[in-house]
């Protein structure tokens, strides 16, 4: 049986390198080309901080240079405080070809270590070639 991995249909890449950001700072990740992909999930990780919030939103662009807030998703706010945390924002079928994450750090007295990893994915509706007939029937039903 051939090896099956989620990464047959997922591309993981760093969109915002780990960095320390101060109170009220914003940081935009690199633009990601969504051509041929159905969606993208941004995984934001932040270290221990006294920041009031760490907000993640998305922006879209037609040309990878002029950016505007995404119209199909809302901002999520990671719970802040003393613990390090991870949050995910999933953007399915963005309106424009390019997307990027935008982080905003709330009021803080110390810097916050943050990073964002992007996971592009496909939902093609095609089952792997190694699926047996009973699995294929279940896949089509879902």
Greater model confidence, 111 or 98: 98
Q: Identify the CA nearest to 115 among candidates 23, 42, 10.
A: 42
pLDDT at residue 77, as a whole number? 64
Give this prediction's pTM: 0.77
Which whole number is the average pLDDT over 62-90? 76
Check whether domain 7-141 has CATH 2.60.120.260, yes or no: yes
Q: What is the mean pLDDT of the chain?
A: 78
What's the CA angle centered on 59, arms 57 and 61, to 5 degrees?
Answer: 170
Structure-token match 């879902």, residue found: 142
- Residue partners of 54: CB distance under 8 A and separation at least 6: 44, 46, 77, 78, 80, 85, 87, 103, 104, 105, 106, 112, 114
Percent of the chain topping pLDDT 70? 75
The residue ranges of every structural domain in the chain are: 7-141
21-30, 79-88, 97-106 — which is least confidently predicted?
A: 79-88
Tell which wins on pLDDT, 7 or 135. Answer: 7
Residue 99, pLDDT > 90, answer yes
pLDDT class for 119, splitting at 50, 70, 90?
very high
How buried is 58 (Cβ within 10 angstroms: 0-12 exposed, 13-18 middle, 19+ buried)?
Answer: buried
CA 77 from centre of chain: 14
């Amino acid at each position: 049986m051939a090896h099956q991995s989620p990464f047959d249909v997922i591309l993981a890449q760093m969109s915002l390198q780990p960095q320390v950001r101060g109170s009220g700072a914003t940081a935009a990740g690199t633009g990601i080309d969504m051509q041929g992909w159905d969606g993208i999930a941004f995984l934001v990780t932040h270290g221990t901080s006294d920041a009031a919030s760490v907000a993640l939103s998305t922006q879209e662009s037609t040309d990878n240079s002029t950016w505007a807030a995404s119209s199909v998703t809302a901002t999520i706010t990671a719970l802040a405080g003393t613990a390090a945390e991870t949050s995910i924002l999933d953007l399915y079928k963005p309106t424009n070809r390019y997307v990027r994450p935008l982080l905003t750090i709330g009021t803080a007295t110390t810097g916050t270590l943050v990073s964002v990893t992007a996971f592009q994915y496909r939902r093609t509706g095609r089952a792997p070639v190694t699926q047996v007939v009973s699995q294929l029937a279940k896949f089509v039903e879902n």
